[in-house]
Amino acid sequence: MKILFYDTKKIELDYLSEKIPNTIEPYFFKNVLNSSTYIDEKYLNCDALSVFVSSSLDSEVLSKFKNLKFIFLRCVGFSNVDLKYCKENNIYVFNTPNYGNSTVAEYVFALALTLSKKIPQAKESIINGDINQDTLRGVELYSKTMGVIGVGAIGRKVINIAHGFGMDVLAYDVIKNGAYNFVELDELLKKSDFISINCPLNEKTRNLIDKIAISKMKRNAILINTARGEIVDTQALYYALIENKIKGAALDVIECEEYFCQSWKKCNNCTELKDICLKKFFFIQKMLQLPNVIITPHIAYNTKEAQERILDITLKNISSSFNISYGANNLVLI
């Protein structure tokens, strides 16, 4: 069975090469897979693909692989896959749930503390030799209200950690499972000092945090997004920040991030960027200059422990799909 692994990091190559079943014929590629990726004809007869969230598997890409039976995602979300095409062509899609619940939740608070305690400004003041205690004064998390949008496995971890900081918590989810303080989204936006986005991206959550939603937030609110960039309207957020309508934003994900080149110096695909994404990039670049904004390169998941869980779950998905005794699978319902 032939599987093509794209967006492969060294830790993945080493780990998978050692543990993948002998009946599997793996091929590893460093680059992402999307409509502009060159694919040698000899690989087009593969049985399966395995990709990270940075790849984009639309119908144009998937239609090239005539024998494709499985897609093994090395991530939780599957918004980067054309599920309609997969359903119509009997392609089974698997994800890796629950690999980084603690990892991502911890990162939410790493961002919250970095921004609220003005840590980047403090470092800069040391470098410049210009220390001003007044401009470096932060705020406590204790007794503040954390609003959690999306109470899945990660959202529940965020709530637990927030309680550990002595924070009050408001929760919003379309499915109200568990004994949490669920409120409507408008109430959460109006009352929260910190807002953590932990919901999946779908048509209902796309641009959920738009100009109207942001206008309901407190002026001292800090928005944290470790879910998917498209949940937040970039342009609306930028104007809210420069007009001091909210206090700050910490983003580990941004809109159109799949179009960012892995290295600006090696970027040769700029002409292929969608027009709408060029506009998003403009506002993202402007936000990077703001002192009350932190943007990191989608690394909330990126710990040694979480990475190994991803690979173990992926191996179980592969093995069970090809009827090899290894473990249970995680089929995405399409």
The pairing of strands 248-251 and 293-295 is: parallel
Of 74, 156, 298, 309, the catalytic one is: 298
What is each CA distance from 156 to 53, 172, 178, 208, in whole angstroms? 23, 11, 9, 20
Of 12, 255, 257, 309, the catalytic one is: 257
Rg (CA), the chain: 21
Q: Is 163 marked active-site?
A: no
The beta-carbon contacts of 5-8 under 8 Å, at least 24 apart in sequence, are 5/29, 5/50, 5/51, 6/31, 6/32, 6/33, 6/37, 6/49, 6/50, 6/51, 6/52, 6/55, 7/31, 7/32, 7/33, 7/51, 7/52, 7/54, 7/55
Sign of the Cα pseudo-torsion (227, 231, 235, 239, in order)? negative
Nearest residue to 186 via CA among 139, 158, 218 = 218
SS3 assignment, position 2: strand
Sign of the Cα pseudo-torsion (111, 114, 117, 118, in order)? negative
For residue 191, the surrounding DSSP H or E stretch is helix 185-191
Of 228, 230, 255, 309, the catalytic one is: 228
Q: Name the β-bridge partners of 122.
A: none
Active site residues: 228, 257, 298
